[in-house]
Amino acid sequence: MPGASIRLVSFQLHKVRKLPMPRVTFHTLGCKLNFAETSGIRRRFANRGYVVVPFGHVADVVVINTCSVTSEADRKCRQVIRRGRKTSPEACLIVTGCYAQLRPEAVAAIEGVDVVLGTREKARLFEFVDSFERRDEAQVNVSCTDDLQDFDPALLSFERTRAFLKVQDGCDYSCAFCTIPRARGGSRSASPNQVVEQARAIAVRGIQEIVLTGVNIGLYGQGRHDGAGGNGTLLRLLEDLSRVEGIARFRISSIEPNLLSDDIIDFVGRTPSFVPHFHLPLQSGDDTMLGIMRRRYRRSVYVSRVERIRQAMPDAGIGADVIVGHPGECSERFQTTVRFLRDLPVTYLHTFTYSERPDTVSATTTRHRSVPVPERRARNRTLRTLSDRKLAAFVDSQVGTIRPVLWERGRKRDLMRGYTDNYIQVQRPFDAQRAGQVEHVRLRRREGLTVVAG
């Protein structure tokens, strides 16, 4: 019977006989934080002598890092699991991530799964790989996250262009629609020294931009599992990072509006290495809906944050997350959100169609009327159209100006693309010498939602 102990002996014989080294492949679903964590696991496998192969190639170990934000994410997880098993029928197939933590029995029931690892067990992955032995049923190793205190550093980088650096994990909030606290545990943070050292290591590699990421980054250093005295504040961390040499620009991935202080906004506005770009989750522009969703702010707070950003950085890019079709969102409340966003000087929207998540307040309460799925999708289309109009208007306002652009290394139809500091996509004829570099360019004209550089 194939098992890990047999595989490990085989891997050692590979070295003696000069046969192929053991292979591992990965597939990640969900947010950049998930991708950063997979990147860390990938490096650990490489350090152990594994050859990392693209997903879809035959491998000895298959690791699937899952998401569970929506029911669509769950469906994709199941598809990927089946594909991984079909491609590598003899592999040790491991499923981890949020879907594995929240629905371990459902994941274990999928044919072909060998091991299910929860959030806490993800860091002990090699214990399960090294002792793996195929059984008739999947091995489920998932424990409660309520008292989870460990912080696992993670970093995702893109070929000397941009790195996503995890500085915080978990969440102490209890939004009605969200499963993240149950999947990842309470808020906890990396130490400032740890983050700074990672930033310096990134700079040595020639990477130009660092995106600071986490589940609820505004809670940095304030979580109930950050220890006595905490790890400082987000503002203090930003100040420490601004003194790291060799990084052209830092970007904050997303921050709750009630946690975005005037001091942080003003600091970003006066610090050249921090870009004028904020992404502020809104979820609804109706105060009643914000209450139903158990959000910790109301419209007036959101407006004050946007206005403060505009005062400090008139050309800043400002994005907003919005959920449509949440229980209780009648037509009138949705139209209130539409009007609110239409008048608000944000530059783009990320719109999500509400999806029932088991064991959340939103899915289990009967006090608020459910919105039919076709209506949810129609509302999503309405806001996506509004987002396109707002982004086009913002881009038009920037045409003719000179902005710094970090050029990506990818090539498509003899064109290269990059992003300005205020998050406008720019394109120009491909030039390999510019790839991975920050260049000040004039924004000549808009084509769709992209700008052509002069």
Instruction: State which residues of the chain have pLDDT below 50.
Output: 1-19, 228-229
- pLDDT, residue 222, reads 86
3-state secondary structure of 244: coil
- pLDDT, residue 303, reads 98
Amino acid sitting at position 288: T
d(CA 208, CA 251): 11
Amino acid sitting at position 246: G
- pLDDT, residue 1, reads 35
pLDDT tens for residues 107-138? 999 888 999 999 888 888 898 888 888 888 89
d(CA 11, CA 2): 13
- pLDDT, residue 159, reads 64
d(CA 62, CA 76): 16
Amino acid sitting at position 238: L
- Identify the CA nearest to 173 among candidates 260, 301, 296: 296
- Tokens for 122, please give them: 């993800």
d(CA 181, CA 307): 30
- Tokens for 413, please give them: 């139809």
- pLDDT, residue 423, reads 97
What is the residue-wise DSSP string for 175-190?
A: -TT--HHHHH-S-EE-
Reported as type and span, the H/E element at residue 452 is strand 450-453
Which residues contact residue 313 at a Cβ distance below 8 angstroms, ignoring those fewer than 6 apart?
268, 269, 276, 422
- Tokens for 402, please give them: 């000179």
- Identify the CA nearest to 212 among candidates 155, 262, 289: 155
Note the pTM of the prediction, 2 decimals. Answer: 0.86
